[in-house]
Structure 1
Amino acid sequence: MALLKQLSSLRQAHSGSIRALFSAMPATSSKFYDVPEGHANADLSQATCNIGLNRRRDLTLGAAGGIKLTINGKPQKLADLFKGQKTVLFGVPDCGKICSEQHLPGYLKAFDDLRKEGISQIVCVAVSDPAAADAWGKKIGADGSKVLMAADPIQAATRILGMELAEPSEPGPKSLRYAAILDNGVILKMKVDKAPGDCKESSAGSVLKTLQAMIH
């Protein structure tokens, strides 16, 4: 019992010392930690983070290389699709109005200009049933001669890029709107719009300017 009383007295004395120490400290509004300059207001949105995470990633290696997209009714591995090619890969959220009137048509119009900058293939990814993706693409004018329509029905490729927004079975946009410049499967640049309703960063014009800045 005497030992317990002694331990209790020691704890009380220790607590009193700690309280006295903090009460003696001057009041201040400064933090007890420092955030590196430029980090305090850093953009940590999904779009911005994914740009960094995907930079220089090789989509022909490991699990990524084995993922398949359906093109012209046939499953094709990413490793085979991108091998030996300089590719612009862009994803549409839902085959909606902006996708139909701006995003996909923009790449069809910019085909010749993108070829001049060394691009050998343009691939449009839609989280959709293959037949529906093909029908939508052909309706817009993507018959495979300029832009390849690639269906990602189980969202495998979209997920490996971190671009998913909703499950394939759910209504609304399934992915972020994005575009990537790849050389032999390696992502050189990733451009992601912050909202599915935007078509700026991932537009054909934006990608073309990025290519020109990289090459010239």
Structure 2
Amino acid sequence: MSIKVGDRIPQATLNVLRDGVQAVTTDEIFKGKKVVLFSVPGAFTPTCSAKHLPGYVQHYEAFRERGIEVACTAVNDAFVMAAWAKAQDVPAGLHMLADGNGAFAKALGLVLDASGFGMGLRSQRFALYAEDGVVKLLQVEAPGEFKVSSAEAMLAALG
């Protein structure tokens, strides 16, 4: 069953690359904060690199002006996420969270089986807005689409 509006973000540990690989918990990411979290099927993949992440980079300050932190997650390791952040000129405050084994995607109930493309189990493409760890808005893309989880769509939905 997938997460829904009103649910609390599940307890999970993700990784970031800061002086080596560092673990970060969902409590550290969400507790006492307003956060937009978007997820992509994979770093360096076409839609993710050409549209999804660049939109959040472009509109990063618009979220920050509203007091909202921005985080990106993918079923990739911390080294790949850091390299992708560098290649995309991601601002330092935009959190690039590695869900290397897909445990967070599984806990959210938003796993995508991309085995047919040689990618194994990944995260579905989605974006959510949470306040103090409670989901207030959830936008999950239909397979193969990129409409509701973009930075522009999230900004519009947040009003």
TM-score after normalising by structure 1: 0.66
Q: Which residue does the alignment assign to 2:113?
A: 166
- The structure number with the bigger radius of gyration is 1
Q: Give the deviation of 1:156 after TM superposition.
A: 1.1
Bigger relative contact order, structure 1 or 2 (CA pairs below 8 A, ≥6 apart): 2
Q: Give the deviation of 1:79 after TM superposition.
A: 1.3
Q: Would you identify which runs of 4 or more consecutive aligned residues in structure 1 move more than 4 Å?
A: none
Find out whether 1:83 has 2:31 as its counterpart.
yes
| Residues 28-43 of structure 1: pairs in structure 2 closer than 5 A | none
1:135 to 63, 83, 86: 83
Cα distance in 1 for partners of 2:50, 2:136 equals 27
Q: Which residue does the alignment assign to 1:152?
A: 99
Bigger strand fraction: 2
Cα distance in 2 for partners of 1:144, 1:134 equals 11
| Residues 46-195 of structure 1: pairs in structure 2 closer than 5 A | 50=2, 53-59=3-9, 64-65=10-11, 67-72=12-17, 73-95=21-43, 96-119=45-68, 121-145=69-93, 147-166=94-113, 171-172=118-119, 174-195=122-143
Identity among equivalent positions (%) equals 31
Classify the secondary structure of the residue corresponding to 1:158: helix
Instruction: Give the paired residue count.
Output: 153
Cα distance in 2 for partners of 1:113, 1:148 equals 16
Cα distance in 2 for partners of 1:86, 1:80 equals 12
Task: Sort the Cα spacing of 1:163 and 1:137 in 2 relative to 1 into closer, same or farther, 3 A.
Answer: same
Q: Give the deviation of 1:166 after TM superposition.
A: 2.7
For each residue in 1:44-95, what CA deviation from the matched residue of structure 2 results, as whole angstroms up to 9, or x when unmatched?
A: xxxxx84xx4211112xxxx22x10102321111112211110000000122
Cα distance in 2 for partners of 1:130, 1:158 equals 15
Bigger helix fraction: 1
Matched letter for residue 141 of structure 2: D
Cα distance in 1 for partners of 2:4, 2:23 equals 23
Cα distance in 1 for partners of 2:4, 2:88 equals 29
Give the aligned CA root-mean-square deviation in angstroms. 1.9
Cα distance in 1 for partners of 2:106, 2:145 equals 20
8 Å contact kept, 2:57–2:91: no
Task: Sort the Cα spacing of 1:143 and 1:109 in 2 relative to 1 into closer, same or farther, 3 A.
Answer: closer
Cα distance in 1 for partners of 2:102, 2:146 equals 21
Cα distance in 2 for partners of 1:204, 1:108 equals 9
Classify the secondary structure of the residue corresponding to 2:113: coil
Cα distance in 2 for partners of 1:71, 1:58 equals 22
Q: Give the deviation of 1:139 after TM superposition.
A: 0.6
Cα distance in 2 for partners of 1:112, 1:124 equals 15
Cα distance in 1 for partners of 2:114, 2:46 equals 20
